[in-house]
Amino acid sequence: MPITLADAKRHLNITTEDDDALITDKMEAATAFVQQFVTLDFSADPVPGAIREAVRRVTASLYEEREGGALPFDNGFLTLVGPWRKWVF
């Protein structure tokens, strides 16, 4: 995964271990989502910082909107992932 649990928890400002399993699940889902969106193989090392930030943001969105809120398709997200997205027409 492009981010660690500790990294996600820092981004979410969480200091307890109560939600570690839940956050890990959200990180996995966020990683899969961003990877599919940009069609980039995350096994390459290092993963670009903008992609890591996009995964952090999607993880946070999934964690904070557990009941089914919208994913962060704002200009910030698209600006982060845009250079790596392969557009197909």
Q: How many residues does the chain have?
A: 89
35 close to 42: Cβ distance less than 8 angstroms:
yes
Specify if 47 maps to a domain: yes
Specify if 89 maps to a domain: no
Domain containing 45 equals: 5-84
**pLDDT tens digits along 53-83:** 999 999 999 998 887 767 767 778 889 998 8
Q: How many domains does the chain have?
A: 1
The CATH number of whichever domain residue 69 belongs to comes to 1.10.3230
Highest mean pLDDT among 25-29, 37-41, 72-76: 25-29
Note the pTM of the prediction, 2 decimals: 0.88
